[in-house]
């Protein structure tokens, strides 16, 4: 795991001091809200529906037990005893006082954390695969590159005021667990003739105008990725629409300019960039990569697991994934108890997860874009003990990638931009399908809910997606089918007129009935949808 | 009626204009008629309230009910955590929002 060097720490400490002064001046009345607002946003502090909300960066979703414990401490001391893990692999606190914010940032800085660039038109938290470094099918650990890009993008003077926010995802396996092509730039590390480099996709995103990023280069050698991205961002920064917020994302530029023209300009810029020596020297790449060296795994561990306990076996089946080292496994911790709030964890739960990471997983955790937590290096022999501990804390729901493993944005219960509530809909659907055997019968089914067109809940990428809209002051929910954020990326299609809260739960159930009636040999929901198309679903749902 | 709301600068709490000061309870709000903007500007300049704005509401038998669901949620707290709402003891508090 990456550890700050003296420059990283000095920068973060300096930022805390600066923000403390800015906050004091605001509280004293020397700064107006118009002057202060951009300053607080640069430090991840929003004003939401009920209070200030602080978004804390978790670079590529990786953190240590000590950092996790600090999040619990902040929830307990400064918030209302819980935090919300998000699709950007970050955490948000919903009940922050402005007067506490400098102290919170100072406490975060003691464990190498901050909230810089978690808002604003800059390069945001870089997301990555939660199984990085341990998945069986990856080419290399994607996180050293993600870390390099974090360092490149933090405080990058040219890209601090882009036309709009900018999101990058890095993966290194053909299985996409990061919705890579729904990012402004997606990088997939691949190996060609023994050389590692990146396939580059540009111009994806969700929001009001969802787009899947087209490939703009099929290989950039590892050592030139920074110059290449610099070129991509520079072309976007030059031509991105600053006159219209809704057309300002790179997806619109690539779409309007055309992929080929965008690529041509990027190549031209890249040829120039390469002459400037922007790319880091090999020694720096090695320094970063060394920080992600595999932990000291034990050799010769047993692979057998006693599955005689039915509940444990059930959990094993859904939550535990193969690890590339024999004797080890990957544990997925569900933050989706039936009827709970997707992504929320109490201080006590956060502390417990930190303990488990320290004790059983080489002190390392991952936040997933599906709002769950991963312990990435667990000895198979410890799985039973971990399960017992999780179960006691209501963290052992065996529903990974099943219909109740719902991604839901905070919606109108917390978010000032929302049109409708997302959480109650998620709760009702989970309750409708509470029976875990029924969920397993349905198999992989990714359901995602957003409370407005901004799509923070990834509804476009849901096999079943739900979008909250406002119809004359009343909450209304549109249903979408067929989306995917994985390597078979696709955008969901709207089924038809929307529903009220209970109506959309019924509509989801009808969609699953159509699937069960039509599926053939091992098809997932999304496969059946692709084969039979929208018509049978639409017919059943509006019958 | 028109009522004035905003957030407290230091705490972020949702607050309502009572005619003299700000209250955490929507039921304390007064009708500002067409003076909302004027009061809002003066209060924002005094800097203890952030982005004050006027909304429509109704007074009924039980108190003041904002017209839009968003403002009712702001007045109550999250409907999914009634323990964190302003009516934690009332199990049916969420119904007030809908
Ligand atoms: C705190 C309240 C939030 C605000 C004000 C907010 C605002 C927005 C806005 C304005 C957009 C649209 C951007 C665009 O397409 O130009 C957006 C997109 C997005 N937000 Fe949020 N958001 C919030 C919370 C969240 C949360 C909690 C998550 C994670 C669960 C999240 C993750 C995302 C994602 C993944 C997108 C889609 C990104 C894309 O299309 O590239 N946001 N958000
Ligand atoms: S999708 Fe809309 S409602 Fe949901 S968090 Fe994003 S901005 Fe808020």
Cβ < 6 A, ligand 2 pocket: A 409-411, 415, 417-418, 450-452, 454-457
Assess B57–A contact: CB distance below 8 Å, yes or no.
Answer: no
A278 & A350 share domain: no
- Contact check, Cβ <8 Å, B80/A341: yes
pLDDT score of A20 more than 90: yes
Distance, CA of B78 to CA of B97 (rounded, Å): 10
Establish how many alpha carbons lie within 13 A of residue A162's alpha carbon, considering only the half-sphere containing its beta carbon.
Answer: 29
Nearest to A77, CA basis, from A367, A315, A272, A347: A347
A324 & A455 share domain: no
A229 & A278 share domain: yes
| Residue A224 contacts residue A279 (beta carbons within 8 Å) | yes
pLDDT for the residue A353: 98
CATH number at residue A323: 3.30.70.3340
A122 within a domain of the structure (yes/no):
no
A139 within a domain of the structure (yes/no):
yes
pLDDT for the residue A521: 92
B10 within a domain of the structure (yes/no):
yes
A120 within a domain of the structure (yes/no):
no
A66 within a domain of the structure (yes/no):
yes
B79 within a domain of the structure (yes/no):
no
Token pair 């300002």 in the structure block, residue: A248
B11 within a domain of the structure (yes/no):
yes
Distance, CA of A237 to CA of B50 (rounded, Å): 32
B27 within a domain of the structure (yes/no):
yes
A387 & A417 share domain: no
pLDDT for the residue A260: 98
A153 & A208 share domain: yes
Give me the domain span that covers residue B34. Answer: 2-69
> Could you tell me the strand order of the sheet in which A215-221 lies?
A127-128, A168-171, A185-192, A195-202, A215-221
A381 within a domain of the structure (yes/no):
yes
A225 & A192 share domain: yes
Nearest to B12, CA basis, from A70, A35, A54, A30: A54
pLDDT score of A181 more than 90: yes
pLDDT score of B93 more than 90: no
CATH number at residue A248: 3.30.413.10
| Residue A356 contacts residue A393 (beta carbons within 8 Å) | no
Beta bridge partners of A323: none
pLDDT score of B47 more than 90: no
Cβ-Cβ contacts under 8 Å, B50 against chain A: 33, 47
pLDDT score of B7 more than 90: yes
pLDDT for the residue A101: 98
pLDDT score of A13 more than 90: yes
Domain count, chain B: 1
pLDDT for the residue B61: 85
Question: CB-based burial of residue A337 (10 Å sphere; 0-12 exposed, 13-18 middle, 19+ buried)?
Answer: middle
Mean pLDDT of A508-537: 97
Mean pLDDT of B14-37: 96
pLDDT for the residue A402: 98
Confidence of residue B95 (pLDDT cuts 50, 70, 90): confident
The end-to-end CA distance of chain A, in Å, is 54
Which of these three, A337, A362, A392, is where a domain ends?
Answer: A392
pLDDT, tens only, A138-160: 999 999 999 999 999 999 999 99
Q: Please, what's the b/e burial string for A490-528 (b: 16 or more CB within 10 A of its CB; e: otherwise)?
A: bbbbebeebbebeebbebbebbbebbeeebeeebbbbbb
Mean pLDDT of A257-282: 96
A303 within a domain of the structure (yes/no):
no
A148 & A25 share domain: no
A212 & A347 share domain: no
Assess B65–A contact: CB distance below 8 Å, yes or no.
Answer: no
The end-to-end CA distance of chain B, in Å, is 19
A537 within a domain of the structure (yes/no):
yes
Token pair 């080929």 in the structure block, residue: A260
- Beta strand segments in A181-275, E: 185-192, 195-202, 215-221
pLDDT score of B92 more than 90: no
Q: Give the residue on B whose Cα is nearest the Cα of A424.
A: B80
ipTM, two decimals: 0.96
A139 & A181 share domain: yes
Instruction: Work out the number of other CB atoms within 10 angstroms of the CB of residue A130.
Output: 25
A147 & A210 share domain: yes
Confidence of residue A325 (pLDDT cuts 50, 70, 90): very high
pLDDT score of A416 more than 90: yes
Mean pLDDT of A498-508: 98
Mean pLDDT of A214-228: 97
Distance, CA of A363 to CA of A348 (rounded, Å): 18
pLDDT for the residue B94: 86
Which residue stretches of A372-460 are H helix? Answer: 383-392, 423-432, 436-442
pLDDT, tens only, A32-82: 999 999 999 999 999 999 999 999 999 999 999 999 999 999 999 999 999
Give me the domain span that covers residue A189. Answer: 127-289
Q: How far is A260 from chain B (nearest CA, A)?
A: 44
pLDDT, tens only, A302-320: 899 999 999 999 999 999 9
A457 & A413 share domain: yes
> Could you tell me the strand order of the sheet in which A82-85 lies?
A45-47, A52-56, A91-96, A82-85, A344-346
| Residue A397 contacts residue A339 (beta carbons within 8 Å) | no
Which of these three, A109, A144, A174, is where a domain ends?
Answer: A109
Mean pLDDT of A273-292: 94
B52 within a domain of the structure (yes/no):
yes
Cβ-Cβ contacts under 8 Å, A421 against chain B: 73, 79-80
Which of these three, A361, A392, A423, is where a domain ends?
Answer: A392
pLDDT for the residue B45: 86
CB-nearest partner of B12 from A47, A341, A424: A47
A243 within a domain of the structure (yes/no):
yes
pLDDT score of B91 more than 90: no
- Beta strand segments in A334-473, E: 344-346, 365-367, 373-379, 407-408, 447-450, 464-471
Domain count, chain A: 4
A467 & A502 share domain: yes
Distance, CA of B98 to CA of B86 (rounded, Å): 16
């Amino acid at each position: 795991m990456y550890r700050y060097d003296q420059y990283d720490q000095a920068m973060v400490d300096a930022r805390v001091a600066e923000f403390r002064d800015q906050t004091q001046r605001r509280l004293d009345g020397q700064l107006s809200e118009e002057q202060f607002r951009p300053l607080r946003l640069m430090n991840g502090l929003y004003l939401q529906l009920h209070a200030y909300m602080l978004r804390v960066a978790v670079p590529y979703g990786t953190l240590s037990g000590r950092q996790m414990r600090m999040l619990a401490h902040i929830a307990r001391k400064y918030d209302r005893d819980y935090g919300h893990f998000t699709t950007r692999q970050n955490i948000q606190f919903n009940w922050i006082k402005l007067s506490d914010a400098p102290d919170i940032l100072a406490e975060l800085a003691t464990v190498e954390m901050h909230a810089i660039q978690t808002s604003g038109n800059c390069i945001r938290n870089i997301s990555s695969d939660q199984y990085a470094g341990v998945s069986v099918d990856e080419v290399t650990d994607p996180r050293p590159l993600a870390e390099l890009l974090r360092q490149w993008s933090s405080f990058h003077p040219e890209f601090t005021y882009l036309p709009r926010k900018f999101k990058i995802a890095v993966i290194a396996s053909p299985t996409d667990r990061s919705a890579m092509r729904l990012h402004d730039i997606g990088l997939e590390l691949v190996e060609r003739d023994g050389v590692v480099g990146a396939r580059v996709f540009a111009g994806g995103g969700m929001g009001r105008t969802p787009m899947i990023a087209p490939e703009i280069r099929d290989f950039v050698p590892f050592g030139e990725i920074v110059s290449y991205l610099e070129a991509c961002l520079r072309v976007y920064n030059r031509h991105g629409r600053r006159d219209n917020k809704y057309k300002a994302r790179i997806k619109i530029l690539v779409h309007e300019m055309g992929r080929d023209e965008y690529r041509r300009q990027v190549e031209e810029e890249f040829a120039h960039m390469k002459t400037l020596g922007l790319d880091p020297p090999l020694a720096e790449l090695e320094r970063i990569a060394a920080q992600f060296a595999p932990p000291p795994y034990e050799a010769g561990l047993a692979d057998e697991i006693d599955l005689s306990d039915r509940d444990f076996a059930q959990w094993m089946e859904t939550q535990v994934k193969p690890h590339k080292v024999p004797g080890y496994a990957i544990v997925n911790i569900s933050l989706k108890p039936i009827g709970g709030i997707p992504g929320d964890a109490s201080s006590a739960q956060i502390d417990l997860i930190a303990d488990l990471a320290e004790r059983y997983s080489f002190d390392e955790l991952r936040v997933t874009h599906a709002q769950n937590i991963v312990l990435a290096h667990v000895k198979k022999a410890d799985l039973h003990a971990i399960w017992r501990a999780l179960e006691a804390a209501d963290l052992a729901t065996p529903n990974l990638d099943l219909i109740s493993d719902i991604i839901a944005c905070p919606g109108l219960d917390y978010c000032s931009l929302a049109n409708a509530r997302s959480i109650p809909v998620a709760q009702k659907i989970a309750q409708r399908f509470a029976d875990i055997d029924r969920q397993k019968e349905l198999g992989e089914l990714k359901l995602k809910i957003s409370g407005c067109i901004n799509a923070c809940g990834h509804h476009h990428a849901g096999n079943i997606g739900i979008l909250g809209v406002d119809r004359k002051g009343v909450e209304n929910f549109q249903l979408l089918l067929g989306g995917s954020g994985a390597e078979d990326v696709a955008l969901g299609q709207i089924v038809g007129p929307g529903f009220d809260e209970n109506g959309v739960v019924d509509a989801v159930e009808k969609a699953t009935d159509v699937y069960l009636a039509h599926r053939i040999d091992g098809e997932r929901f999304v496969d059946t949808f692709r084969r039979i198309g929208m018509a049978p679903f639409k017919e059943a749902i509006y019958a | 009626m028109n009522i004035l709301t905003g957030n407290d600068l230091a705490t972020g709490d949702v607050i309502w204009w009572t005619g003299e000061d700000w209250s955490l309870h929507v039921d304390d709000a007064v009708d500002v008629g067409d003076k909302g903007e004027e009061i809002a500007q003066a209060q924002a300049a005094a800097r203890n309230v952030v982005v004050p704005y006027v909304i429509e509401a109704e007074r009924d038998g039980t108190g003041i009910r904002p017209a839009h669901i968003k403002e009712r949620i702001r007045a109550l707290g999250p409907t999914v955590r009634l323990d964190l709402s302003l009516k934690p003891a009332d199990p049916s508090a969420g119904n007030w929002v809908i």
